[in-house]
């Protein structure tokens, strides 16, 4: 099995980057292959180009998008790792989805609209926020993000959502103990999803 770990955080020493590396190490330890797409270190351009917008006359994806699609063509699991900014994914990740997961890769023309091209592939997300879990739940912020991002992406592309692991109350000066707890949560999620006796979990939030 092959995994794509798609990380969106400008600080290479951030919790998000550490979570992405922990995920990659955990699946490699299980004999799976991994490709890491660290969007900030790649300097990925999130801006959708006019030529990339599908229209009756056709469209043309950029060379960078074509290269990404080639990297992701045989991926079985997509792992998104990112912080909440204004209760939404970072712009660089949203732009990556806009450009890479669009027509010709994530979905194609279908009867009465479009049809997903990623059927049989799976999505897992690891997110963090400065606001505590209780606040994101009480305000509906977490569920709103999952509806607009996770569930809509799955609906459009045919991806199956395995899990969404969210931790709240994360600040820049996180303690070593809290940091290790988050990383342990990543390994726990891996055990549930990828060890034979683990079973599956749904849209889980919190650790």
Q: Please report whether residue 199 resides in a domain.
A: no
- How far lies 191's CA from each of 92, 132, 185, 200, in Å? 29, 25, 10, 10
Q: Please report whether residue 115 resides in a domain.
A: yes
The pLDDT value recorded for residue 56 is 84
Q: Please report whether residue 83 resides in a domain.
A: yes
Q: Please report whether residue 41 resides in a domain.
A: yes
Give 126's strand partners.
81, 165
> Which CATH number is 168's domain given?
3.40.50.360
Pairing type for strands 77-83 and 2-7 reads parallel
Token digits of residue 114: 């479009």
Distance CA 105, CA 113 (A): 15
- Residues in the chain where the model's pLDDT stays below 70: 196-207
**Number of domain units in the chain:** 1
Q: Please report whether residue 203 resides in a domain.
A: no
What is the model's pTM?
0.91
The pLDDT value recorded for residue 146 is 93
Domain that holds residue 92: 2-194
The pLDDT value recorded for residue 38 is 98
Q: Please report whether residue 200 resides in a domain.
A: no
CB 200, CB 193: distance < 8 Å: yes
Q: Please report whether residue 17 resides in a domain.
A: yes
Distance CA 3, CA 77 (A): 5
The pLDDT value recorded for residue 206 is 44
Q: Please report whether residue 134 resides in a domain.
A: yes
The pLDDT value recorded for residue 197 is 65
Distance CA 34, CA 102 (A): 22
């Amino acid at each position: 099995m092959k995994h794509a770990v798609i990380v969106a955080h400008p600080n290479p020493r951030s919790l998000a980057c550490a979570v992405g590396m922990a995920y990659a190490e955990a699946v490699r330890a299980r004999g799976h292959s991994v490709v890491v797409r660290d969007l900030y270190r790649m300097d990925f351009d999130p801006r959708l180009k006019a030529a990339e917008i599908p229209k009756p006359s056709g469209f043309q994806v950029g060379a960078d998008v074509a290269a990404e699609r080639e990297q992701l063509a045989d991926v079985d699991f997509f792992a998104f790792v990112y912080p909440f900014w204004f209760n939404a994914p970072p712009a660089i990740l949203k732009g990556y989805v806009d450009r890479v997961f669009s027509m010709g890769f994530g979905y194609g023309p279908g009867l009465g609209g479009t049809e997903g091209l990623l059927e049989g592939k799976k999505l897992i997300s690891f997110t963090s926020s400065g606001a505590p879990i209780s606040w994101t739940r009480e305000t509906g912020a977490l569920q709103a993000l999952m509806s607009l991002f996770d569930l809509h992406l799955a609906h459009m592309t045919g991806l199956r959502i395995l899990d969404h692991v969210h931790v709240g109350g994360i600040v820049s000066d996180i303690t070593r103990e809290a940091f290790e707890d988050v990383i342990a949560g990543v390994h726990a999620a891996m055990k549930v999803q990828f060890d034979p006796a683990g079973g599956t979990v749904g849209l889980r939030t919190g650790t």
